[in-house]
Amino acid sequence: MALIIKNCNVIDGTGNAPVKNQSIRVDSGKIEWIGNSDEFPYEINIDDQVLDIAGITVMPGMMDTHIHITQGYEVDQSGFLTETIPFLTVRAIDSCEKILQSGFTTVRNMGTYGFVDVAMKNAFQRGMIAGPRMIASGEMLMSTVSGELGYLRHEIDIPDMKSGIFSGADEARRAARYQFYHGADVIKLIASGRVGSDAYTLPWDTEVERSEIKAITDEAHRLNRKVAAHAYSSESVRDCVLEGIDSIEHGVMIDLETIKLMADNGTFLVPTMNAFNSYLQPDAEQRYPQYRLNRGRPMATIQRDNFEEYLKHKLPIAVGSDGPRPGSPPGSNAREIELLVSAGMDNLSAINSATLKSAELLGIDKELGSIEVGKTADIILVDGNPEKDISILKDIDKIKVVIIEGKVVKDISN
């Protein structure tokens, strides 16, 4: 049985202009044919599934390369200290279902506990539950001085968190191997302080040595895996880039020299603008403690001021919402795309960042990320034209159909 999408407008994810009056044939999970509807060369069989929806735009399934599937979006963010791994798993199932319904067919999880993301990936692959394609990081890697530990008294021991803690290059390599042994696809390294913890290090402090970074990237690249680094300051980002990190998460405080270094090395930036924009919302004081607002609000301004330089120097940018989080429940991931546009990207470039560029970062662009013959059919059907109005993408009711590997997993077109 083939899947046929008729009389649609196609935004292919490459950054090219939309093409009108197109039809697409999908067979065995792959895109088999794309072309003018008037030239459709196949007979439609009685058992073929046909989608013919007036005014519809076809796009690649969107990708979010920085999420936390076990993270709550309530005001109180300390729940992970009391919530069990089974509860976090249930939360992850709920979040992933909502993310899929919003048109995101691939996600990269950037840190959890108890390898819940690995379990979710395996469950999705086996068809046990519905959810997006999952790139799993397992547990975050961090040094013994990391601000990520600022939630805890020193005498508190959480084995599910502590497996990623290291001091020195040998321990860093061992921590990376531990993640891969347990099924991680990518490493998430905490390379600098953080906004979200009132800890002994500040966001712009560098928390790891270059020898530790090198041990992690060498181990990952030897296994054909990638490493993402949470880093804010120019010093921290430069260390990461020079030691082969594949993507910088946040990167808010980087100077022009560091932007150029990233561009020259092809290092991706995942700006997570949604995270910092959340501190500017009218109800932010009800959602966050004051220390987070004091740290996060200036960063939102700095990031917007830097964005023109990102674009000028053609820094490769992938979409990452850093959600769910207070004010950004699962399914609101496309806010990040809208924020990229508000910062200076044109609509088609932002869609490219959410599709093919994100696929390039994840190393899956040969199979996914664009509407092209031979690629896996991860496709969404959108009511309206996001080239003209990018906000359509964050309206879950405008995402009429979601397709993964040629199978329709959402259809509210009728």
Per-residue pLDDT tens for 243-286?
Answer: 999 999 999 999 999 999 999 999 999 999 999 888 888 888 88
pLDDT at 170: 97
Higher local confidence (pLDDT), 96 or 196: 96
3-60+370-411: CATH topology is Urease, subunit C; domain 1 (2.30.40)
CB neighbours of 165 closer than 8 A, spacing ≥ 6? Answer: 141, 142, 143, 144, 146, 149, 175
189, pLDDT greater than 90:
yes
Higher local confidence (pLDDT), 146 or 385: 385
62-333 to CATH, choices 3.20.20.140, 2.40.37.10, 2.40.30.10, 3.90.1150.10 = 3.20.20.140
Per-residue pLDDT tens for 310-344?
Answer: 999 999 999 999 999 887 899 999 999 999 999 99
What's the whole-number average pLDDT of the chain? 92
Higher local confidence (pLDDT), 205 or 392: 392
195, pLDDT greater than 80:
no
List Cα–Cα distances, 88 to 16, 35, 76, 121, 211, in angstroms: 40, 45, 15, 15, 34
pLDDT at 298: 87
355, pLDDT greater than 60:
yes
CB count in 10 Å sphere of residue 94:
13
What band does 400 get if pLDDT is binned at 50, 70 and 90?
very high
What band does 384 get if pLDDT is binned at 50, 70 and 90?
very high
pLDDT at 193: 83
pLDDT at 63: 99
Question: What's the per-residue H, E or C state across the chain?
Answer: CCEEEEEEEECCCCCCCCEEEEEEEEECCEEEEEEEHHHCCCCCCCCCEEEECCCEEEEECEEEEEECCCCCCCCCCCHHHCCCHHHHHHHHHHHHHHHHHCCEEEEEECCCCCCHHHHHHHHHHCCCCCCCEEECCCCCEEECCCHHHHHCCCCCCCHHHHCCEECCHHHHHHHHHHHHHCCCCEEEEECECCCCCCCCCCCCCECCCHHHHHHHHHHHHHCCCEEEEEEEEHHHHHHHHHCCCCEEEEEEECCHHHHHHHHHHCCEEECCHHHHHHHHCCCHHHHCCHHHHHHHHHHHHHHHHHHHHHHHCCCCECCCCCECECCECCCCCCHHHHHHHHHCCCHHHHHHHHHHHHHHHHCCCCCCCCCCCCCECCEEEEECCCCCCHHHHHCHHHEEEEEECCEEEEECCC
CB neighbours of 153 closer than 8 A, spacing ≥ 6? Answer: none
Start-end of CATH 2.30.40.10 domains in the chain: 3-60+370-411
Higher local confidence (pLDDT), 70 or 356: 356
Start-end of CATH 3.20.20.140 domains in the chain: 62-333
Q: What is the CA radius of gyration of the chain?
A: 21
Per-residue pLDDT tens for 235-255?
Answer: 999 999 999 999 999 999 999
Average pLDDT rounded to a whole number, residues 346-353: 99
Instruction: Rank 79-93, 146-160, 163-177, 193-207 by mean pLDDT and report only the highest.
Output: 163-177
What band does 21 get if pLDDT is binned at 50, 70 and 90?
very high
Q: Model's pTM, two decimal places?
A: 0.95
pLDDT at 290: 85
pLDDT at 295: 82
